[in-house]
Structure 1
């Protein structure tokens, strides 16, 4: 199966969905728990029909849906087809999507030696240690933890938060954080990521799937 990139997903014109951290995400404003359950049941029937099963998170008053092909390691045409069917099911129930509310939360740990610390964090989070620069739970029950290469010098900020948002929402999220007392540390890598800091100097990044410009 061929993995789809941001441009290919955009060409699919999935108005309800956004590509975030290698998966399609949507939030449907169900209004009531009962309506949310009805949508879950319809999605369940579609999933069985296609033999392709999304991650569902039903809350009051919305339903979060995550779609990816685990066997391919990302988004494929199969996900696009199921996304369209899910949007149609939601529309039939009079449910609107809210893509502006979407975001994915990750943690980054600065370390000079990821191989030394990764086994500990994999054990702590009950996640499989697959090597490389991250530890993640395929079910997304806990945030992805990735390891950013850094020098050994002290002091350094050990952890920082990465918040991945739809590209069209990055500017508003950054402005809101700045208005709430934050400062801009660097936008040299925007729109891929923009580094901000809280009033105490703790850093965080607003990220998108777009590549750095220039």
Structure 2
């Protein structure tokens, strides 16, 4: 299957879907558990019919859907086709699909001792390393942890969060952060990421798919 670029995925994705951290995602706002369960069953039957399976997270008032072709490590045309099918099933059930507010959180350890630190965190967390050497919870319930070599000047921040958002959400989130007393530390790597800091200087990277391919 052909690996698609972020631009291709975004251009072809059905309404209500967003490309975040190498996967196509949506939130189906079911309103109640019974509707969500019925929709999950319908999606499961459709996925079995095409032998391509999404990750589904059923909650009381919504179902989160993640599509990703594990065999090639990226989003492909299979995912776009299944997204369209899921959208049709949701519409038939009277359920709306929307990506507003969907995010993906990662944690980065900034360490002058990397990669010596990696073995400790791998052992204590019990997570396997993925193809890029990051620590990934195989059940997807805990943020991915990755490692970055840093300087050793003190004071320094050991950990920083990476928050993946849709490109359209970057400007309003930065504006809200500044209004809340934060600062924009750097936009030198935009649109891949922006570095923000809270009033005490703790940093976060706001990340998108743009500029990475």
With the shorter chain as reference, the TM-score category is over 0.9
**Secondary structure in 2 matching 1:25:** strand
Within a 5 Å distance, the mapping from 1:23-34 to structure 2 comes to 23-34=23-34
Matching residue of 1:70: 70
Counterpart contact for 2:193–2:207, Cα < 8 Å: yes
Residue 117 of structure 2 corresponds to residue 97 of structure 1 = no
- Residue 41 of structure 2 corresponds to which residue in structure 1? 41
Aligned counterparts, 1:97-176, within 5 A: 97-130=97-130, 132-176=132-176
| Equivalent position of 1:205 in the other structure | 205
If the length of structure 2 is used for normalisation, what is the TM-score?
Answer: 0.93
Structure 1 residue 9: Cα displacement: 0.5
| Per-residue deviation, 1:143 | 0.5
Distance across 1 between alignment mates of 2:121 and 2:19: 27
Matches of 1:147 and 1:107, distance apart in 2: 9
Q: CA deviation at 1:182?
A: 1.4
Q: Deviation of residue 133 (structure 1)?
A: 4.6
Once residues 154 and 173 of structure 1 are traced to their aligned partners in structure 2, the CA distance between those partners, rounded to angstroms, is 29
**Structure 1 runs, 4 residues or longer, greater than 4 Å off:** 130-133
| More deviation, 135-144/158-167 | 135-144
Paired residues, what number? 212
Q: State the alpha-carbon separation in 2 of the partners of residues 96 and 71 from structure 1.
A: 30
1:87 Cα deviation (Å)? 0.8
Segment of structure 1 superposing worse, 142-151 or 125-134 = 125-134
Root-mean-square deviation over aligned CA pairs: 1.6
Is 1:189 matched with 2:189?
A: yes
Given that 2:56 and 2:63 are in contact with CA atoms closer than 8 Å, whether structure 1 keeps it comes out as: yes
Cα distance per residue 1:17-65 (max 9 Å; x no partner):
1111111111111111111111111111111111111111111211111
Deviates more, 1:166-175 or 1:146-155: 146-155
Q: Give the unaligned 5+ runs of structure 2.
A: none
Where do 5+ consecutive residues of structure 1 fail to align? Answer: none
Cα distance, 1:132 vs. partner?
4.2
Partner of 1:85: 85
The separation in 2 between residues aligned to 1:14 and 1:52, in whole angstroms, is 18
Q: Does 1:17 align with 2:17?
A: yes
- How far apart are the structure 1 equivalents of 2:174 and 2:137? 28
